[in-house]
Chains A and B, each alone.
Chain A
Amino acid sequence: MSTAAETALRARARARRSGVADDEARLGRLMLAPAVIYIVALVGLPFTLALLYSVSNVTVGSTGFRIVGIENFRSAIENPTFIRALRNTLVFALISQALVLILATTLALALQKNFRGKWFVRLLILLPWVAPISLGTIGWLWILEPIYSVINWTLRSIGIFGPNTWPIWLGQPRLAMASVITVHVWRLLPLATIILLGGLSSIPQDIHDAAAIDGANFWRHHFQITVPLIKPILLVALMFGLIFAVTDMIVIYVLTRGGPYDQTQVLATLAFFTGIDGGDLAAGAAIALFLFPVLAAGAIVLLRLARRSEVV
Chain B
Amino acid sequence: MASLALVRTAGAKAITFAVIAGFATFAAFPFAWMLITSFKQTSDLVDPTHNPFVFHKPPTLEHLRILFFHTQFARFAANTLFVGVTVVVITLLLAVPAGYSLARLTGPTGEKLGIAIFFTYLVPSTILFIPMSRIISTLGLQDSLWSLVLVYPTFTVPFSTWLLMGFFKVIPRDLEEAAMIDGLSRFGAFLKVIVPVSIAGIFTVIIFTLTLVMQEFVYALTFISGASRFTISVGVPTVLVRGDVYFWGSLMAGCFIASVPIAILYNFFVDRFIAGFTVGSVKG
Query: A47 to B51, Cβ gap below 8 A?
Result: no
Chain B at the A interface: mostly helix, strand, loop or mixed?
A: helix
Chain A at the B interface: mostly helix, strand, loop or mixed?
A: helix
**Does A258 lie at the interface of the complex (its beta carbon under 8 Å from any beta carbon of B)?**
no
Q: Which of B40-97 contact A (CB under 8 A)?
A: 45-46, 48, 51-53, 93-95, 97
Q: List 24 A-B contacts (CB under 8 A).
A: A25-B106, A27-B187, A35-B97, A38-B157, A39-B157, A43-B128, A106-B19, A111-B20, A122-B270, A127-B263, A135-B233, A135-B259, A142-B252, A147-B48, A198-B271, A218-B12, A236-B277, A246-B124, A247-B124, A247-B125, A271-B126, A275-B133, A276-B133, A299-B122
**Does B27 lie at the interface of the complex (its beta carbon under 8 Å from any beta carbon of A)?**
yes
Complex partner residue of B153 from A31, A42, A127, CB under 8 angstroms: A42
Alpha-carbon separation in the docked complex, A18 to B186 (Å): 10
**Does B172 lie at the interface of the complex (its beta carbon under 8 Å from any beta carbon of A)?**
no
Lowest 10 CB-CB distances: which A-B pairs, in order? A28-B105, A131-B259, A247-B124, A49-B131, A35-B98, A139-B30, A31-B97, A21-B185, A135-B255, A31-B101
Query: B218 to A250, Cβ gap below 8 A?
Result: yes
Alpha-carbon separation in the docked complex, A157 to B104 (Å): 64
> Chain A residue with minimal CB distance to B109?
A28
**A124-B24, A128-B27, A138-B251 given; A233·B282 CB < 8 A:** yes
**Does A301 lie at the interface of the complex (its beta carbon under 8 Å from any beta carbon of B)?**
no
Alpha-carbon separation in the docked complex, A211 to B30 (Å): 40
Query: A276 to B130, Cβ gap below 8 A?
Result: yes
**Does B274 lie at the interface of the complex (its beta carbon under 8 Å from any beta carbon of A)?**
yes
**Does A140 lie at the interface of the complex (its beta carbon under 8 Å from any beta carbon of B)?**
yes
Query: B278 to A122, Cβ gap below 8 A?
Result: no
**A285: shortest Cβ distance to chain B, in Å?**
5
Query: A194 to B270, Cβ gap below 8 A?
Result: yes
Query: B105 to A25, Cβ gap below 8 A?
Result: yes
Q: Which of B218-268 contact A (CB under 8 A)?
A: 218, 221-222, 232-234, 236-237, 246, 248, 251-252, 254-255, 258-260, 262-264, 266-267
> Chain B residue with minimal CB distance to A119?
B267
Complex partner residue of B130 from A43, A186, A285, CB under 8 angstroms: A285
- The count of residues in chain A whose C-beta lies closer than 8 Å to any C-beta of chain B is 99
**A76: shortest Cβ distance to chain B, in Å?**
14
**A198: shortest Cβ distance to chain B, in Å?**
5
**Does A214 lie at the interface of the complex (its beta carbon under 8 Å from any beta carbon of B)?**
no
Alpha-carbon separation in the docked complex, A58 to B135 (Å): 13
Query: A127 to B157, Cβ gap below 8 A?
Result: no
**Does A113 lie at the interface of the complex (its beta carbon under 8 Å from any beta carbon of B)?**
yes
**Does B100 lie at the interface of the complex (its beta carbon under 8 Å from any beta carbon of A)?**
yes
Residues on A with beta carbons closer than 8 Å to the beta carbon of B255: 131-132, 135-136, 138-139
> Chain B residue with minimal CB distance to A194?
B274
Question: Which B residues are closer than 8 A to A by beta carbons?
Answer: 12, 16, 19-20, 23-24, 26-31, 33-34, 37, 45-46, 48, 51-53, 93-95, 97-98, 100-102, 104-106, 110, 113, 117, 120, 122-135, 150-151, 153-154, 157-158, 161, 185-188, 211, 214-215, 217-218, 221-222, 232-234, 236-237, 246, 248, 251-252, 254-255, 258-260, 262-264, 266-267, 270-271, 274-275, 277-278, 281-284
Alpha-carbon separation in the docked complex, A145 to B232 (Å): 22
**B211: shortest Cβ distance to chain A, in Å?**
6
Give the most central of B30, B161, B214, B260: most A CB within 10 Å: B30
Alpha-carbon separation in the docked complex, A275 to B129 (Å): 9
Query: B282 to A135, Cβ gap below 8 A?
Result: no
Query: A122 to B186, Cβ gap below 8 A?
Result: no
Alpha-carbon separation in the docked complex, A141 to B254 (Å): 14
Query: A34 to B31, Cβ gap below 8 A?
Result: no
Residues on A with beta carbons closer than 8 Å to the beta carbon of B94: 34-35, 38
> Chain A residue with minimal CB distance to B223?
A276
Complex partner residue of B237 from A18, A36, A119, A135, CB under 8 angstroms: A135
Query: B277 to A195, Cβ gap below 8 A?
Result: yes
Query: B31 to A139, Cβ gap below 8 A?
Result: yes
Query: A271 to B130, Cβ gap below 8 A?
Result: yes
**B189: shortest Cβ distance to chain A, in Å?**
10
